[in-house]
Amino acid sequence: MQVEFSFLWAYMDKPPFEYPSKEVFAELLKTVQHSELVARYLLTKEMPFVFKEKKKGYEFLIGHIAKSLEIKADAITLIGSGRIGFSLDPFKFGVPFSKRSDLDFAIVDSDLFDTAWLELVGLGSRFARLETDVQRWVKEHRTNNVYWGYMEPENLRNAVSAYRVWFPLFAGLVQYTSFAEGGISGRLYRTWEHTRSHQLYSLASIRRTLS
């Protein structure tokens, strides 16, 4: 039986916010509405796990990304293991965030997304002149990523104009994050609802592996 998490929190004295351990989260996946887990732990305004002692550093990164992409700061949030403290990849669920991990940002902007989307649609004969790995990523976007409402401009390279800003922006952020040697990437979502739906899909996939 699934429990309405928001109902429980409304009638409890809320302790200081803490992210759950992987063991606790695994149990929550079995007993709590996944939409509540996304709202509480994954798309929350709380400080991400990896930045809990580095609040100013997080605010700096958000501000820098927002300025570079000419979007609002509230259109950006950290997702993945840096957000909650362990991997949410169904095949690596629970692997703790470490110095070798990467940081994954969700960038939510329909204008940026739609511009890149139309550029992919309009590739035409240019597709044949793209590098082989870029062609593969274009096909992946056509069959999967765009379906879920997100794109990865750093992998699409010269297929989309956003790459010219995207790659140097996120590649340059590593100078500020020595605690995350895996690098920094940005995933472009069309809306927050697309972001939420993709997070729900990930949780459902994890839940199936726990059965």
For residue 103, the cross-strand partners are: 184
Alpha helices in 1-128 (DSSP H): 5-10, 22-31, 34-37, 55-69, 81-84, 110-121
Model confidence at 9: pLDDT above 60: no
- Summarize the confidence of residues 94-119 as an average pLDDT: 96
- Summarize the confidence of residues 6-14 as an average pLDDT: 52
- Summarize the confidence of residues 189-208 as an average pLDDT: 97
> What's the pTM?
0.90
- Summarize the confidence of residues 184-201 as an average pLDDT: 97
Q: Look at residue 176 in the predicted model and tell me its pLDDT.
A: 87
Q: What is the mean pLDDT of the chain?
A: 93
Contact 47/18 with Cβ under 8 angstroms?
no
